[in-house]
Amino acid sequence: MWFANAKYVLGRVLHGIPIILAIVVVNFFLIRLAPGDAAQVLAGESGAATAEYMRQIREQFGLDQPLWLQFVNYMKNLLVFDLGFSFRHNREISELIMDRLGATALLMGTSMVLSIGFGILLGAIAAVRDRTLLSHVIMILAIVTYATPLFWVGLMLIIVFALNLGWFPTSGIATIGAPVDGFEYAIDVAHHLVLPAIALSFFYMALYTRLMRASMLETLGQDFIKTARAKGLSSSNIVFRHALRNAIIPVLTMAGVQVSAMLGGSVIIESVFGWPGLGLLAYEALFSRDLNLLLGIFFLSSILVVLTNAIVDVIYTLVDPRIRLNGGRHA
Amino acid sequence: MLSNSAKPTLLRKILSTPTGAIGMALLTTVILLALFASVLFPEGPFEMVGAPFRPPFGEYLFGTDMLGRDIAAGIAYGARISLLVGAVATLVIVLLGTVVGGLAGYYGGWIDTAAMRVTEFFQTIPTFIGAIVIVAVLGPTLPNIIGAIAVVSWAPLARLVRAEVRSVKGREFVEACLSLGMGDMRILVVQILPNVLSTIVVAGSLMVATAILFEAGLSFLGLGDPNIMTWGFMIGAGRSAIRTAWWMVTIPGIAVLLTVLAINLIGDALNEALNPRAKR
């Protein structure tokens, strides 16, 4: 059993490798698609790059060599996670990215928990109380939220809760000059996290609410639920012990798929709230036209998605014995 | 299925549901606004019409921005871009998705394997970051923005079309066509695709909404065409005045929200009208 599982896990991880290679190829050729000299493009259009930096870029990308050799060198560098050097930040790109990863993970993790938790809760309520005022209100809110641009939600939260009510800070991850570790720091970060996490989770919460309601309605109509009712089990017992557990599966599947979209959302939310993660780094890279850095972020975020997909698949085989080995996921 | 004679009934079906009726009313308003933008605001969206920082519902319906530009004019001209991007991007997505998904689903074999590998790649890359990278590298022009949105969004549709084509291909009438000596292309285009059309229409209608949200996000981040007024750009520009002038970010956002909402509602109504069994 565990051996079969380990083989599956390994297979899943190997499966991601061609995709990562393809991303490298795309990154490599994208720069060469850009109008003008690749070194100029990578250095940015502002013309602020020094001769020294231009030389470094030509060297890193081997721009004076034949194309195939350039590609081989590029691959070699990426294999050891050498993403190059950012002139604007005056640091290695891999270091820059690693520094920002934690903040993004905190924001995305919190938003995922919020959106999945409330999505399941609201969707289940809407299904159990189907055709009542409560379920209509929930579904209308979900439909409207589903149409709302993330960045706009963020700005509205800032106007209401930060500027007018003054309950939360408008931006950043911590108060400048406040203690940098210990309990107080954690509280301070949590205080800064509230608005961006809510803003990022809104859209996904709406998505999961709609999905959960549909899935729950379907589950409640199935035979095993009828059997449970016939056995005389209480209503709440049926909902919580039987229906909910089955109805959750499509929502979790969707949440796994949405990690990639949420990374995009965090670029927007981080730039709205000045949250110093990967997304804000990408936004800064856009502004300074630091394309080398932008491509590094794209590369790393793609790897993150490949890893998450593999992890989600593995969790499935552990949680749901019906999905195993040769079969993909169901739902 | 969607033949000319069936169209009035489809429209009536959509209008008969409350969501469909609201969606249609909202979308019609936005389309009219886009069509008559130059009649309503002949001076264009970049013209400074009055004093800056005028609040809404006074002299100017939606107020003015920090440069004294009429926000209502921006909303009207922005509607053009949002609808254009949504429509053209979706057209490209549907074309790409149908060709790739149709061929993969019909022929199977190595074509299918190759197509599925490619779609898997496009489904794995973080779509919005991918669009940012493409536009940043190739330059912020309207065709590049539309192309970027289409490139990162076509894969799910291709998978959907492939699955539908495969299931239709297994039906008896396809075998009948084969035994009649009909060519592959003719079977695929004339016999199978019409059966898949309702799925494509429903998925496509929701793609329009996603494309509009993508465009708004890109131009909010400053990746819009600098010569074009868009809702996302207005929100991005209004950010710097968020402490004093709430309307500069709020009103264009409501425009995006209502347009996307309208399209989603119509998509839901279309889904109910075309796939009554898959009612959600």
Inspect the interface and report whether the beta carbons of B121 and A271 lie closer than 8 Å: no
The pLDDT tens digits of the residues spanning B13-34 come to: 888 888 889 999 999 999 998 8
Kindly tell me if the per-residue pLDDT of A10 is higher than 80. no
A183 to chain B, closest Cα gap in Å: 32
Measuring CA to CA, how many Å separate A28 from each of A36, A75, B120? 15, 9, 19
- Contacts of B11-16 with CB under 8 Å at 24 or more apart are B13/B269, B13/B272, B13/B273, B14/B266, B14/B269, B14/B270, B14/B273
B interface test, pick of A21, A144, A151 with most B CB neighbours within 10 Å: A151
Kindly tell me if the per-residue pLDDT of B278 is higher than 70. no
The answer as to whether B9 is a domain residue is: no
Given pLDDT bands bounded at 50, 70 and 90, which one contains residue B120?
A: confident
The answer as to whether B192 is a domain residue is: yes
Nearest to B136 among A148, A294, A305 (CB): A294
Q: What are phi and psi of B64, to 5 degrees?
A: -120, 160
Running DSSP on this structure, what letter comes out for residue A91? E
The answer as to whether B10 is a domain residue is: no
pLDDT at residue number B231: 92
Q: What is the CA radius of gyration of chain B?
A: 22
The pLDDT tens digits of the residues spanning A210-253 come to: 999 988 888 888 887 778 777 777 777 777 777 888 888 888 88
Measured between alpha carbons, how far is B127 from A302 in angstroms, rounded to an integer? Answer: 10
Given pLDDT bands bounded at 50, 70 and 90, which one contains residue A71?
A: confident
Give, rounded to a whole angstrom, the gap between the first and last alpha carbons of chain A.
24
Q: Structure tokens of B9? A: 């009934």
Q: Structure tokens of B69? A: 């530009």
Q: Which residue has the tokens 């850095």?
A: A293
Average pLDDT of A5-27? 79
What SS3 state is found at A104? helix
| Chain centre distance of CA A45 | 30
pLDDT at residue number A325: 45
Please list every residue in chain B whose beta carbon sits closer than 8 Å to the beta carbon of residue A301. Answer: 126, 129
| Chain centre distance of CA A22 | 20
The answer as to whether B154 is a domain residue is: yes
Lowest mean pLDDT among A43-52, B127-136, B149-158, B229-238: A43-52
B276 or A249: which leads in pLDDT: A249
Kindly tell me if the per-residue pLDDT of B1 is higher than 60. no
**B174 touches B187 (CB < 8 A):** yes
Inspect the interface and report whether the beta carbons of B221 and A268 lie closer than 8 Å: yes
CB-facing half-sphere around the CA of A171: CA atoms within 13 A: 13
Measuring CA to CA, how many Å separate B206 from each of B89, B157, B260? 12, 11, 9
Asked if B213 reaches chain A (Cβ–Cβ under 8 Å), the answer is yes
The whole model's pTM is what?
0.88
Kindly tell me if the per-residue pLDDT of B137 is higher than 90. no
The pLDDT tens digits of the residues spanning A156-211 come to: 999 999 888 989 888 888 777 767 777 878 888 888 899 999 999 999 999 999 99
The answer as to whether B7 is a domain residue is: no
Domain span at residue B136 reads: 26-278
pLDDT at residue number A331: 35
Average pLDDT of A38-44? 65
Maximum mean pLDDT: which of A181-195, A300-314, B84-98: B84-98
Q: Structure tokens of A327? A: 């079969």
Given pLDDT bands bounded at 50, 70 and 90, which one contains residue B264?
A: very high
**A200 touches A262 (CB < 8 A):** yes
List CB contacts of A283: < 8 A, sequence separation 6 or more: A267, A270, A271, B221
Mean pLDDT (chain A, rounded) = 81
B279 to chain A, closest Cα gap in Å: 9
- Helix, strand, coil % (nearest 5) of chain B? 75, 0, 20
The pLDDT tens digits of the residues spanning B43-67 come to: 878 877 777 777 888 777 787 777 8
Kindly tell me if the per-residue pLDDT of A328 is higher than 50. no
Nearest to B136 among A22, A214, A286 (CB): A286
Supply the CATH number for residue B233's domain.
Answer: 1.10.3720.10
Asked if B210 reaches chain A (Cβ–Cβ under 8 Å), the answer is no
Measured between alpha carbons, how far is A158 from B176 in angstroms, rounded to an integer? Answer: 63
Q: How many domains does chain B have?
A: 1
The answer as to whether B3 is a domain residue is: no
Measured between alpha carbons, how far is B149 from A39 in angstroms, rounded to an integer? Answer: 26
The answer as to whether B227 is a domain residue is: yes
Maximum mean pLDDT: which of A38-42, A49-53, A122-126: A122-126
Given pLDDT bands bounded at 50, 70 and 90, which one contains residue B5?
A: low
- Asked if the ipTM is above 0.90, the reply is no
pLDDT at residue number A53: 73
The pLDDT tens digits of the residues spanning B96-108 come to: 999 999 999 888 8
B228 to chain A, closest Cα gap in Å: 19
The answer as to whether B105 is a domain residue is: yes
Q: Structure tokens of A149? A: 């641009």
The pLDDT tens digits of the residues spanning A94-153 come to: 888 888 898 999 999 999 999 999 999 999 999 888 888 998 999 999 989 999 999 999
Given pLDDT bands bounded at 50, 70 and 90, which one contains residue B220?
A: very high
**B104 touches B111 (CB < 8 A):** yes
Inspect the interface and report whether the beta carbons of A149 and B253 lie closer than 8 Å: yes
pLDDT at residue number B149: 95
Inspect the interface and report whether the beta carbons of A298 and B129 lie closer than 8 Å: yes
